[in-house]
Chain A
Amino acid sequence: MKKLLLTFLFFTIYVLHAKDFCVIVHPSTSIKTLSTEKIRKIFLRKHHFIDNMKAIPVNLLSNHKLRLLFEKQIIKVKREQLNQYWVQQHFLGVSPPVTQASDQSIKLFIQNLPGAIGYIPKSLVDAKVKVVHEF
Chain B
Amino acid sequence: MRLKLLPLLVISIFHLSAEDKYTLGNGYKFFDALTIGGYFTTDYTASATSSSLTADDIAVLAYGKLSNRLSYLGEFESKDTYTVNFQDSTTVDNFQVHIERLNFDYKVSEKINFRVGKQITPIGYWGAQPISVLRDTTSNPVFSTTMYPKLFTGIDAYGYLPFTESTKYHLLLQKNEDLDSDYNNILTDQFFAFALDSEININWRVGGSIGHFINLADEVFYFVQLNTQYDFHPFTFSAEIIRNQAQSPSQNDYTRLGAFYLQLLYRQSPKHIWVTRLEHSRDPMTLNEESFLVAGYSFRPLYPISLKTEYQWHEYNVNNKFILSFSVLF
Which residues of A approach B to under 8 Å, CB–CB? Answer: 37-38, 41, 47-49, 52, 54, 76-77, 80, 83-84, 86-88, 90-93, 95-96
Q: How far is the CA of A91 from the CA of B304 in the complex (A)?
A: 11
CB distance from A59 to the nearest CB of B (A): 14
Which one, A41, A47, A49, A84, contacts B303 given CB within 8 A? A84
Known: A41-B165, A54-B69. A88 touches B110 (CB 8 A): no
Asked if A90 and B165 make an inter-chain contact with CB atoms under 8 angstroms apart, the answer reads no
* In the complex, B141 has a CB within 8 A of chain A: no
Q: How far is the CA of A95 from the CA of B109 in the complex (A)?
A: 19
Which residues on the B side are within 8 Å of A84 (C-beta)? Answer: 303
Which residues on the B side are within 8 Å of A93 (C-beta)? Answer: 61, 63, 71-73, 105
Q: How far is the CA of A87 from the CA of B110 in the complex (A)?
A: 23
Asked if A91 and B303 make an inter-chain contact with CB atoms under 8 angstroms apart, the answer reads no
Q: How far is the CA of A106 from the CA of B209 in the complex (A)?
A: 41
Q: How far is the CA of A54 from the CA of B68 in the complex (A)?
A: 7
Count, A-B residue pairs, CB within 8 A:
62
- Give the number of residues in B that approach A within 8 Å (Cβ atoms): 32
Between A and B, 26 residue pairs with Cβ closer than 8 Å are A41-B165, A47-B110, A47-B160, A47-B165, A48-B113, A49-B107, A49-B109, A49-B110, A52-B109, A54-B69, A76-B202, A80-B270, A83-B25, A84-B303, A86-B25, A86-B26, A87-B25, A87-B329, A90-B25, A90-B27, A90-B37, A90-B329, A93-B61, A93-B63, A93-B72, A96-B26
Candidate in A77, A80, A90 with the most chain B CB atoms within 10 angstroms: A90
* In the complex, B10 has a CB within 8 A of chain A: no
Which residue of chain B has the shortest Cβ distance to A87 in the bound complex?
B25
Known: A87-B26, A88-B129, A90-B26. A37 touches B165 (CB 8 A): yes
CB distance from A37 to the nearest CB of B (A): 7
Which residue of chain B has the shortest Cβ distance to A52 in the bound complex?
B109
Besides the known contacts A92-B120, A93-B61, 6 further A-B residue pairs in the complex with CB atoms under 8 A apart: A87-B26, A88-B129, A90-B61, A91-B39, A93-B73, A95-B29
Which residues on the A side are within 8 Å of B69 (C-beta)? Answer: 54
Known: A38-B165, A41-B165, A86-B26. A91 touches B134 (CB 8 A): yes
Q: How far is the CA of A54 from the CA of B69 in the complex (A)?
A: 7
Asked if A91 and B129 make an inter-chain contact with CB atoms under 8 angstroms apart, the answer reads yes
Q: How far is the CA of A95 from the CA of B35 in the complex (A)?
A: 9
Which residues on the A side are within 8 Å of B105 (C-beta)? Answer: 93
Which residues on the A side are within 8 Å of B109 (C-beta)? Answer: 49, 52
**6 closest A-B pairs by CB:** A93-B63, A93-B73, A87-B25, A80-B270, A54-B68, A90-B26
Which residues on the A side are within 8 Å of B131 (C-beta)? Answer: 91
Asked if A92 and B37 make an inter-chain contact with CB atoms under 8 angstroms apart, the answer reads no
Asked if B134 and A87 make an inter-chain contact with CB atoms under 8 angstroms apart, the answer reads yes
Asked if B110 and A48 make an inter-chain contact with CB atoms under 8 angstroms apart, the answer reads yes
Q: How far is the CA of A47 from the CA of B61 in the complex (A)?
A: 23
Candidate in B25, B35, B37, B61 with the most chain A CB atoms within 10 angstroms: B25
* In the complex, B9 has a CB within 8 A of chain A: no
Which residue of chain B has the shortest Cβ distance to A48 in the bound complex?
B107
Which residue of chain A has the shortest Cβ distance to B159 in the bound complex?
A48
Bitwise, B1-45 to A at CB < 8 A (1) or not (0) is: 000000000000000000000000111010000010101000000
Known: A48-B107, A49-B109, A93-B73. A87 touches B202 (CB 8 A): no
CB distance from B16 to the nearest CB of A (A): 15
Which residues on the A side are within 8 Å of B71 (C-beta)? Answer: 93
Which residues on the B side are within 8 Å of A41 (C-beta)? Answer: 165
Which residues on the B side are within 8 Å of A88 (C-beta)? Answer: 128-129, 134
